[in-house]
């Protein structure tokens, strides 16, 4: 299919872009890579009167490292982040997660900000942002603001961004010492969206007990889901298979109603979540021991 007719604008500044969004409220869409929006246009599931392309706006592209972590401009291509030596060194979890996104051809065009603002619940970047306590910088008519990942993803394909706000950057803090990580997912084919996935982060005390744990499930609900009750089961206990199994069962049991579609039933996704939590925790704990 072909997209419906629309106007196209390439503003040179954020102020110009936000002004366009205000003047065309409800009828404009931001284009920041197009790997999600263009297919929706072609299938006529999105019918904006105006596309506002951010490609010409300076300072929205790049990876900047500091003592606290990395800041990534919203228009930075996913492939650029994947190949960044700073990201590989400071954030191996983020590096590993990016390699699971679609295919290199898609990552060459798709942007970090585009994926996060699109907020597909089966995508890797939203789950990574939630697991890593990322923060989002946004600019709108009222100025700038910073949004925590825990407050950013509201429901399916919906974020806390206001209609005329533009995501400008995302900041990923570094993991502390003696912390390990894992990202696990099951997809029908390599590069497909995950039927279910898990991001696990485990911190170990000097004696080997679990000092901290973060579990985020994706592909099983309307947003990435923090498994807080399963995390609480882990903290203070041993980093062993029995603990990981209990956490997996709790995380899967707490899912309100996993998605059912032509690819997988809710029951299958729930069982996938249980198994993947155990696998991810085991791998994260192994990395933590060697950290």
For the stretch 113-129, pLDDT in tens is 999 999 999 999 999 99
Average pLDDT of the chain, as a whole number: 96
Domain at 179-290, CATH class: alpha beta
Query: CB of 197 within 8 A of CB of 92?
Result: no
**Residue 45 pLDDT exceeds 90:** no
Read off the pLDDT of residues 206-247 as tens digits, 9 standing for 90 and up: 999 999 999 999 999 999 999 999 999 999 999 999 999 999
Ranges in the chain annotated CATH 3.30.465.10? 63-173
Which residues lie below 8 Å from residue 60, measured CB to CB, with a gap of 6+?
Answer: 54, 73, 74, 75, 76, 113, 168, 169
**Residue 291 pLDDT exceeds 80:** no
Rounded CA separation 34/117 (Å) = 12
Query: CB of 110 within 8 A of CB of 39?
Result: no
Ranges in the chain annotated CATH 3.30.43.10? 7-53
The CATH fold assigned to 63-173 is 3.30.465
The CATH fold assigned to 7-53 is 3.30.43
């Amino acid at each position: 299919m072909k997209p419906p007719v629309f106007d196209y604008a390439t503003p040179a500044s954020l102020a110009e872009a936000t002004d366009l969004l205000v003047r065309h409220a409800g009828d404009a869409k931001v284009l920041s890579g197009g790997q999600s929006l263009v297919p929706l246009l072609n299938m006529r599931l999105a019918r904006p009167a105006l596309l506002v392309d951010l490609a010409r706006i300076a300072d929205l592209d790049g990876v900047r490292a500091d003592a606290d972590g990395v800041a990534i401009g919203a228009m930075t291509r996913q492939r650029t982040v994947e190949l960044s030596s700073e990201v590989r060194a400071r954030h191996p979890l983020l590096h590993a997660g990016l390699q699971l996104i679609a295919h290199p051809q898609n990552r060459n065009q798709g942007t970090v900000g585009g994926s996060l603002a699109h907020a597909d619940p089966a995508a890797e970047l939203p789950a990574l942002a939630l697991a890593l306590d990322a923060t989002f910088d946004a600019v709108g008519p009222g100025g700038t603001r910073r949004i925590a990942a825990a407050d950013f993803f509201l429901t399916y394909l919906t974020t806390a961004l206001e209609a005329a706000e533009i995501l400008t950057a995302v900041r990923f803090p570094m993991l502390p010492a003696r912390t390990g990580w894992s990202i696990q997912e099951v997809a029908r084919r390599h590069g497909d969206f995950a039927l279910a996935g898990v991001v696990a982060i485990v911190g170990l005390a000097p004696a080997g007990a679990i000092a901290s744990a973060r579990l985020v499930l994706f592909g099983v609900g309307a947003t990435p889901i923090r498994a807080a009750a399963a995390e609480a089961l882990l903290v203070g206990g041993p980093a062993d298979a029995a603990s990981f199994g209990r956490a997996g069962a709790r995380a899967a049991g707490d899912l309100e109603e996993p998605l059912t579609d032509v690819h997988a039933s809710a029951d299958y996704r729930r069982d996938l979540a249980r198994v993947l939590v155990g696998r991810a925790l085991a791998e994260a704990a192994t990395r933590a021991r060697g950290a």
